[in-house]
């Protein structure tokens, strides 16, 4: 057989070496060498399926000063992420098929990697219209207020859940309780949006959902919340690797919703590693000027799409987690939850890969690609990919970008007949 591209001497996660032959964006053969128009020698690298980050905020539009599709997806690709799922709390929020279609067109013209777009869940939103127009999922659905998202009252949430279930959709949920006045420190923020309140919110959301509904809980930050959840569970690198005790008490760059917890709670979250379905970044950049505001008025949110997999790969290097668990939680499980083709090492799999060296480096925010220009993970050990392949195309190699691959992945409700 002939192939468009062959990855030679690939060190698979199983430890064996093989060649991967790719044609038309799909893996065709894994094993002995075949002829190809292009070859990449993967000796000395660990080859991972491209990551699917199912929780990003790509900003754009009136928020282009924070981030846009081009810079946000450049950051994703440089971190080994080949598919991103954008959240609907944009400005304006995605609540109609027309706004959804405009967001998709914006991504198609600017993105460097695969993408999907979720539908907003608010009273009056055209859920059925957005489902037919290709929304991947519903939410981030706010059971508590957060940046650019208003919390929904229980009865509204119950009614919207029933509509989503009738469509056969997945509801992704931001579950928190919020109390007290505007916090002035990271510890205040932790108290105002407490871990115990998050676990109660998870239980309350589940009580509102009709039986059999597909629920996905975003960015759970405590072991108690993970254990309370029914449905699929997402955790973020910032809740796994950062505690508020690592920062000055009024450090706005560490302000995020849900808040960073204390060190004991952070370590306890790792005890639930095997119960966590997905690691997603909740990439939510703000400008340095916005983060320079006083703590009680500074916006919550941090960038993280580029550092997500590299942080986890460094943890693999230290022997703290397994490579197979990273692949499962960053690539295979999110693809399964979303219903998109899996990237992998079997014929028919989507040909998205990232090649990682064995070298651990220190994160330098000036070397990252997000427009916001900062990272709370500065100085942390990480292993960044040197080559990234999307649908068989070399999209990134040794710091240089190749051909853009803005592939749209519509949700299961997409009807091409209704969207001509």
Average pLDDT of 328-337?
Answer: 98
pLDDT at 221: 98
Of the chain, the end-to-end C-alpha distance in Å amounts to 37
CA-wise closest residue to 49 among 389, 384, 279? 389
* Residue ranges per structural domain of the chain: 2-47+345-401, 50-338
Q: Determine the length of the chain.
A: 420
Would you state the structure tokens that stand for residue 75, as one six-digit string?
């950051």
Count of other CB atoms within 10 angstroms of residue 263: 13
- Half-sphere exposure at residue 124, Cβ-oriented, CA atoms within 13 angstroms: 2
- Mapping DSSP to helix (H, G, I), strand (E, B) and coil, where does residue 210 land? coil
Q: What is the mean pLDDT of the chain?
A: 95
* Sign (positive or negative) of CA dihedral 357, 361, 363, 368: negative
Give 244-287 as a 3 state SS string. HHHCCCCCHHHCCCCCCCCHHHHHHHHCCHHHCCEECCCECCCC
Average pLDDT of 244-267?
Answer: 98
pLDDT at 419: 56
Say which residues have a Cβ less than 8 Å from residue 273's Cβ, sequence separation at least 6: 321, 325
Annotated binding-site residues read 55, 57-59, 89, 140, 174, 219, 282, 286
Pairing between strand 387-390 and 381-382?
Answer: unpaired
- Mapping DSSP to helix (H, G, I), strand (E, B) and coil, where does residue 155 land? helix
pLDDT at 34: 87
Question: Tokens 């392949």, residue?
Answer: 389
Annotated binding-site residues for substrate read 57-59, 89, 286
pLDDT at 420: 47
Across the chain, how many H-helices and E-strands are there? Answer: 13, 19
Q: What is the pLDDT of residues 383-414, one digit of tens each?
A: 999 999 999 999 999 999 999 999 999 999 99
Given pLDDT bands bounded at 50, 70 and 90, which one contains residue 417?
A: low
- Mapping DSSP to helix (H, G, I), strand (E, B) and coil, where does residue 309 land? helix
Annotated binding-site residues for Zn(2+) read 55, 57, 140, 174, 219, 282
- Mapping DSSP to helix (H, G, I), strand (E, B) and coil, where does residue 68 land? coil
Given pLDDT bands bounded at 50, 70 and 90, which one contains residue 35?
A: confident
Q: How far apart (Å, rounded) are the C-alpha atoms in residues 293 and 299?
A: 8
Is 162 a residue whose pLDDT tops 50? Answer: yes
Say which residues have a Cβ less than 8 Å from residue 36's Cβ, sequence separation at least 6: 2, 3, 4, 5, 6, 21
CATH superfamily of 2-47+345-401: Urease, subunit C, domain 1 (2.30.40.10)
Catalytic residues: 282
CA angle 20, 116, 223 (to 5 degrees): 90
E runs forming strands in 330-416 = 353-356, 361-362, 381-382, 387-390, 393-397, 400-401
Rg (C-alpha) for the chain, rounded Å, is 20
- Supply the DSSP string of 98-154, one letter for each residue: HHHHHHHHHHHHH-SSEEEEPBP-STT--HHHHHHTT--SEEEEESS-BTTBPPPPH
Q: Which helix (H) or strand (E) holds 205?
A: helix 195-208
Is 145 a residue whose pLDDT tops 80? Answer: no
Pairing between strand 381-382 and 361-362?
Answer: antiparallel
Q: How far apart (Å, rounded) are the C-alpha atoms in residues 260 and 241?
A: 10
Q: Which helix (H) or strand (E) holds 337?
A: helix 333-338
Would you state the structure tokens that stand for residue 365, as one six-digit string?
């925010």
Average pLDDT of 286-301?
Answer: 97
179 exposure class (CB count in 10 Å sphere: 0-12, 13-18, 19+): exposed
CATH architecture of the domain 50-338 equals Alpha-Beta Barrel (3.20)
CA angle 307, 78, 331 (to 5 degrees): 70
Would you state the structure tokens that stand for residue 238, as one six-digit string?
């910032």
Average pLDDT of 358-380?
Answer: 97
Our CA dihedral for 301, 307, 309, 314, rounded to 10 degrees, sits at -120
pLDDT at 415: 75
* Sign (positive or negative) of CA dihedral 256, 199, 51, 403: negative
Given pLDDT bands bounded at 50, 70 and 90, which one contains residue 11?
A: confident
């Amino acid at each position: 057989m002939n192939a468009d591209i062959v990855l030679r001497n690939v060190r698979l996660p199983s430890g064996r070496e093989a060649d991967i032959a790719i044609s038309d964006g799909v893996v065709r053969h894994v094993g002995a060498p075949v002829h190809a128009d292009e070859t990449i020698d993967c000796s000395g690298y660990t080859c991972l399926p491209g990551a699917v980050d199912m929780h990003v905020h790509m900003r754009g539009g009136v928020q282009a000063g924070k981030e846009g599709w081009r810079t946000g997806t450049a950051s994703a690709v440089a971190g080994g992420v080949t598919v991103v799922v954008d959240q609907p709390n944009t400005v304006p929020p995605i609540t109609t098929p027309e706004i959804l279609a405009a967001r998709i067109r914006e991504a198609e013209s600017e993105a460097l990697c695969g993408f999907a777009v979720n539908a907003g869940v608010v009273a009056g939103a055209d859920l059925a219209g957005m489902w037919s127009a290709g929304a991947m999922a519903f939410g981030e659905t706010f059971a508590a207020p957060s940046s650019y998202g208003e919390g929904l009252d229980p009865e509204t949430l119950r009614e919207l859940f029933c509509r989503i279930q009738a469509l056969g959709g997945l509801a992704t949920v931001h579950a928190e309780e919020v109390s007290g006045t505007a916090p002035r420190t990271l510890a205040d923020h932790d108290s105002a949006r407490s871990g115990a309140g998050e676990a109660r919110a998870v239980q309350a959301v589940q009580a509102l959902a009709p039986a059999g509904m597909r629920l996905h809980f975003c960015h759970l930050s405590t072991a108690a919340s993970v254990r309370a959840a029914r449905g699929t569970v997402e955790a973020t690198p910032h809740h796994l690797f950062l505690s508020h005790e690592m920062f000055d008490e009024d450090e706005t760059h560490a302000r995020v919703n849900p808040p960073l917890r204390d060190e004991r709670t952070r370590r306890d979250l790792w005890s639930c590693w095997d119960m966590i379905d997905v690691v997603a970044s909740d990439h939510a950049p703000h400008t340095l000027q916005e983060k320079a505001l006083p703590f009680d008025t500074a916006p919550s949110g941090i960038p993280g799409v580029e550092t997500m997999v590299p942080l986890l790969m460094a943890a693999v290097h230290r022997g703290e987690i397994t490579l197979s668990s990273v692949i499962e939680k960053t690539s295979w499980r999110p693809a399964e939850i979303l219903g998109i083709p899996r990237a992998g090492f079997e014929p028919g799999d989507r040909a998205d890969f990232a090649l990682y060296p064995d070298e651990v480096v220190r994160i330098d925010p000036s070397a990252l690609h997000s427009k916001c220009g900062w990272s709370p993970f500065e100085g942390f050990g990480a292993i960044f990919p040197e080559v990234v392949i999307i649908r068989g195309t070399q999209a990134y190699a040794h710091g240089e970008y190749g051909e853009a691959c803005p592939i749209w992945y519509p949700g299961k409700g997409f009807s091409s007949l209704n969207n001509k």
